[in-house]
Structure 1
Amino acid sequence: MIFLLQTSFYKLLMLATGMLLKIVPLPKPTIYCGPGSSLQLCGNVIQFGYKHVLIVTDAILHEMGLLDAVKAKFETAGVRVTVYDGVEPNPTFAQVHAGLKLAKENSCDAIFTFGGGSPIDTAKVISIAATNTKTPEQLVGFFKAKNPGLPLFAVPTTAGTGSEVSLGAVISDPVTHKKGFVAEPKTVPIAAALDPSVMLGLPAPITAATGVDALTHAVEAYISTLASDESDAYAIASVKMIFENLREAYSNGSNIEARESMALASCYASLALNKALLGYVHGIAHQFGGYYNTPHGLANAIVLPHVLDYSQDACIDRLSELAVAVELGRDTESKSVLAQKFVDAVRQLNSDLNIPSTLDALIESDIPGIAKAALKESHYSYPVPKYMNQAQCEALVGKMVS
């Protein structure tokens, strides 16, 4: 009885969230796409007349020299550049503060972020923290920024998070293991470049994990109770493109067409989640990141099939539609059969990409805490198609113990 009352409250909360999303304008960045588009974006930034740009990235990308052409483009045009390359997977507030300090010390008037979801998320929070009186920690939550952030431009180097178009950022607290979600339209970049040429050297395991991360975004948006015609269009396009291109991008990383298609698929998936939000996969995966520093894409990829198993009976229609969209069957077949085919296809995709079904780092004694935090995040933030209680969540997470 108590659980029924709780789920009724969560459904009302999500209904209110859906109404709010319809009212709040969600900006979409200008998108440059194709080989060399990252330098085209630099040219766009130069035309705005900014004097000093903070580049937010990670040390590996910086050391590999992938930023050299970007820096040269700016400096040749007389734009000063400061690089913050201290971002790590599952970025922390300490990293945000370090980048923010550089931005203020150098009077940076724009931010250019180059990297995966971690540098982009870090840059987003630096952007709004630089122009608002709240600390990065105080910006956690919904719509906490009063002023627009520093102008932000993004070049994703992975095809997974779609952070270049999403309205949020996730920052970790390594002490409490909690993920701080900053949900703020003011974090959306002005423009972004989907440049497959900067993704050609991406290692196969990262290609796999980030690709299934994008798939997770699209699927969770499609089975969300807040799904709309707009979010559905983006989600279906994304799922189709991922099933058509991810295996090729994984096995043949130099295929620039497959890389470009995956970059677009990631972007579309994020546009879908902007409207329809996420679900239990992210609620659980965020805890894996907080507890064990598991890369977000890998965490999502491991969790996705397990959550689809649990939710399947509540979203058979939606999963069957995805099965037809990726040509796993015909719409004349039983919806339950089609739904199962889609879940099986997700598992097969993971297997083909050598993604494990369990998490080596997962400790059984941590499961109650993980489940509690995952449910709190999910029930207050995500319009899931089927609710679960503490015992059910613990049982589901327990299936991922190696």
Structure 2
Amino acid sequence: MSFNLVAPRFMLVGGGAVAEVASVLQKFGLTRPLVVTDPFMVSSGLVRRCIDPLEAAGIKVTVFSDTVPEPTDTVVKAGVASLRQGDHDCLIGFGGGSPIDTAKAMTILAMGDAPMSAYKVPFQADAAKLPVIAIPTTAGTGSEATRFTVITDTARDEKMLISGLGALPLAAIVDYELTFTVPKRTTADTGVDSLTHALEAYVSRRANPFSDAQALAAMGLIGANLRTAFHEPRNAAAREAMMLGAMQAGIAFTNASVALVHGMSRPIGAHFHVPHGLSNAMLLPAVTRFGLASATARYAEASRRIGFAAASDDAETAAGKLADGLVALNAELGVPTPKEFGIDHAVWEGRLDLMAEQALASGSPANNPRVPDKAEIVALYRAVWSANA
């Protein structure tokens, strides 16, 4: 077996690690960062956790904070304009997955004058203008460790997957203390997002021994700690475990790829503005049940690692407990169905063909243990409309 492995060149992990941001930049001779963040990080003052150590080290900081929750090509374009106005030598993505994804897309788009759509898969975006240092403030996307970014084409209502070494951060600072104030809804959605990353990486047709090790470790951490982090936001041990699990899940899927859940999730986000982790959660039980018979042993081991099945359960029993356990997890975390989220049923039905086409075009469904056709994807969308059964 041969396979490729990618990861950031340097990762600093631990409580309070963000205070070392200046020394991380100095390791690579970087002194002129553009911090890419969002309005809440600025208004809440959390971004100062990144800016203050830089300024204390004599590093001048410029901030671009016009990012949006689900990054768009228009925001990325505005970010590139801001980038070109200064003499910057790196980008720091500070925040949830959206600011980090925006920073990644900015450094790719800054390579030339082509639109963002020119870089979507199957194009390999291996070149970047400047390096990115990623500092996540949620335990979910794993974007700090991946070679992917997802950007919405506003003209077409399409979430574009951008893939390549150009999107891989040079370095990451993973500090769980930044997640203490994350709201419960965000904790739940990003937590299920990271669980989805690990599970899909493990059952992916592109899985390998390295990604398997990361995915299994991530599922163990997330399965044991997601509920605690949700119910007890200040529980340091749970927050630390979730942050590490999210990072490992990111490493897993950047080396094995995600599958059908993500392929179907992106169109829901693009058309109905459902946060990415939440749309993953809506889909996860039904899509998992769809693939069980095609990779029973793998789904069974995932179920055991997450904690849904016992070590003594046979494969078929353990796999069945995985799908049931995901339904129960969604219920405990208050995950709404698309209907409960407030999506109009007629509009949902009217978009199903297009969403199925966009899901297939992303390439992710081809990694699934059971590869669906368009009709099966439409049927799955219908199944999750009112119940993740």
Give the TM-score range, shorter chain.
over 0.9
Alignment of 1:118-267 (within 5 A): 118-132=98-112, 134-142=114-122, 144-145=124-125, 147-267=127-247
Provide the C-alpha distance between the structure 1 equivalents of 2:126 and 2:204, rounded to a whole number of angstroms.
Answer: 29
Check whether the contact 1:132–1:146 (CA below 8 A) recurs between aligned residues: no
CA deviations on 1:240-262 (whole Å, 9 max, x unpaired) are 11111111110111112211111
Which residue is 2:321 aligned to? 341
Deviates more, 1:57-66 or 1:348-357: 348-357
Deviates more, 1:365-374 or 1:271-280: 365-374
Deviates more, 1:290-299 or 1:39-48: 39-48
Paired AA for residue 371 in structure 2:
Y
Which residue is 1:306 aligned to? 286
CA deviations on 1:197-256 (whole Å, 9 max, x unpaired) are 111000001000000000001111111112111111111111111111111110111112
In structure 1, the residue corresponding to 2:384 is in which secondary structure? coil
In structure 1, the residue corresponding to 2:155 is in which secondary structure? coil
Provide the C-alpha distance between the structure 2 equivalents of 1:243 and 1:146, rounded to a whole number of angstroms.
Answer: 34
How many Å apart are 1:387 and its aligned residue?
1.9
Provide the C-alpha distance between the structure 2 equivalents of 1:141 and 1:322, rounded to a whole number of angstroms.
Answer: 29
Provide the C-alpha distance between the structure 1 equivalents of 2:181 and 2:146, rounded to a whole number of angstroms.
Answer: 25
Provide the C-alpha distance between the structure 2 equivalents of 1:268 and 1:338, rounded to a whole number of angstroms.
Answer: 23
- CA distance 1:246–1:169, shift in 2 (3 Å): same
In structure 1, the residue corresponding to 2:224 is in which secondary structure? helix
- CA distance 1:35–1:311, shift in 2 (3 Å): same
Provide the C-alpha distance between the structure 2 equivalents of 1:263 and 1:386, rounded to a whole number of angstroms.
Answer: 30
* Alignment partner of 1:398 out of 377, 382, 385: 382
Check whether the contact 1:113–1:152 (CA below 8 A) recurs between aligned residues: yes
How many Å apart are 1:331 and its aligned residue?
4.5
Which residue is 1:365 aligned to? 350
Alignment of 1:63-82 (within 5 A): 63-82=43-62
Which residue is 1:6 aligned to? none
The normalised TM-score by structure 1 is: 0.89
Check whether the contact 1:29–1:188 (CA below 8 A) recurs between aligned residues: no
Alignment of 1:86-125 (within 5 A): 86-125=66-105
Which residue is 2:359 aligned to? 374
- CA distance 1:326–1:400, shift in 2 (3 Å): closer
Provide the C-alpha distance between the structure 2 equivalents of 1:146 and 1:342, rounded to a whole number of angstroms.
Answer: 37
Check whether the contact 1:160–1:266 (CA below 8 A) recurs between aligned residues: yes
The normalised TM-score by structure 2 is: 0.92
* Alignment partner of 2:368 out of 364, 376, 384: 384
CA deviations on 1:173-219 (whole Å, 9 max, x unpaired) are 12211111111112211211111111100000100000000000111
How many Å apart are 1:296 and its aligned residue?
0.3
Deviates more, 1:331-340 or 1:244-253: 331-340
CA deviations on 1:320-350 (whole Å, 9 max, x unpaired) are 1122224444454332111011111111111
CA deviations on 1:116-166 (whole Å, 9 max, x unpaired) are 111111101112333456443322235544644312111101111100010
How many Å apart are 1:72 and its aligned residue?
2.1
CA deviations on 1:54-80 (whole Å, 9 max, x unpaired) are 000110111100112322222232222
Provide the C-alpha distance between the structure 2 equivalents of 1:332 and 1:259, rounded to a whole number of angstroms.
Answer: 30
Paired AA for residue 43 in structure 1:
S
Provide the C-alpha distance between the structure 2 equivalents of 1:146 and 1:248, rounded to a whole number of angstroms.
Answer: 39
In structure 2, the residue corresponding to 1:209 is in which secondary structure? helix
Provide the C-alpha distance between the structure 1 equivalents of 2:312 and 2:176, rounded to a whole number of angstroms.
Answer: 38
Paired AA for residue 389 in structure 1:
D
1:35 aligns with 2:15: yes
Check whether the contact 1:277–1:382 (CA below 8 A) recurs between aligned residues: no
- CA distance 1:352–1:93, shift in 2 (3 Å): same
Check whether the contact 2:7–2:146 (CA below 8 A) recurs between aligned residues: no
RMSD: 2.0
Paired AA for residue 373 in structure 1:
Q
Provide the C-alpha distance between the structure 2 equivalents of 1:207 and 1:313, rounded to a whole number of angstroms.
Answer: 31
Alignment of 1:55-66 (within 5 A): 55-66=35-46
Paired AA for residue 375 in structure 1:
L
Identity of aligned residues (%): 33
Gaps of at least 5 residues in structure 1 are 1-17
Check whether the contact 1:194–1:260 (CA below 8 A) recurs between aligned residues: no
Check whether the contact 1:142–1:184 (CA below 8 A) recurs between aligned residues: no
Which residue is 1:282 aligned to? 262
How many Å apart are 1:383 and its aligned residue?
1.2
How many Å apart are 1:295 and its aligned residue?
0.5
How many Å apart are 1:41 and its aligned residue?
2.5
